[in-house]
Amino acid sequence: MYPDAHCALHHENALQLLIATILSAQCTDVRVNMVTPALFARYPDASAFALADPRELETLIQSTGFFRNKARNIIACCRKIVDEHGGKVPSTLEELVPLPGVGRKTANVVLGDAFDTPGITVDTHVGRLSRRLGLTTLTDAEKVERELMKLLPRKDWTVFSHRMIFHGRQVCGARKPNCAGCALNDLCPKIGVDV
């Protein structure tokens, strides 16, 4: 259904993807993609973000919501990248997760799309669809991730996440899933859907 599924956040390198993913919390990818061109022009590398004036950064990212917290995390994250990783975004889950503003979801996005290291990104769409399709009964994102890892070949983890996100956005919405227009209609147990 989604042969061209990909990361919807526009980026040219691992740092840009990391920053865009931090900004995407409680915000649409469309909005993030509107904000990031000016942001990345102003702050071209981790050192520039690490030295950013918080108020200026807040102004640039304000429309993404929770901008004070996001600005604080971006600056702290980039300081740690500069101080502990020589200004380069680390390429392992163990190094990414401790960075301010970064959890497993963000780390898996960066690993999968910037470093080609397979990872399952459990966002709201992946979690919801995994339960709706009967792939898991769990709600904790890390536990859902681990269950899906057992079900899927490792090489497919990243693209599976993108496909689930595309499907959640285009067909299987939270409030009003389009079951009649879904290619999985005959296979889906529709768990939690009022039919």
Catalytic machinery residues: 105, 123
Q: Are 125 and 164 in contact (CB under 8 A)?
A: yes
| 3-class SS string, 153-194 | CHHHHHHHHHHHHHHHHHCECCCCECHHHCCCCCCCCCCCCC
Give the separation between CA 175 and CA 193, rounded to whole angstroms: 9
Q: Classify the phi-psi angles of 132: left when phi > 0, otherwise alpha if psi is within -120 to 50, otherwise beta.
A: alpha
* Number of C-beta neighbours around residue 142 at 10 A: 12
Residues 6+ away with beta carbon under 8 Å from 140? none
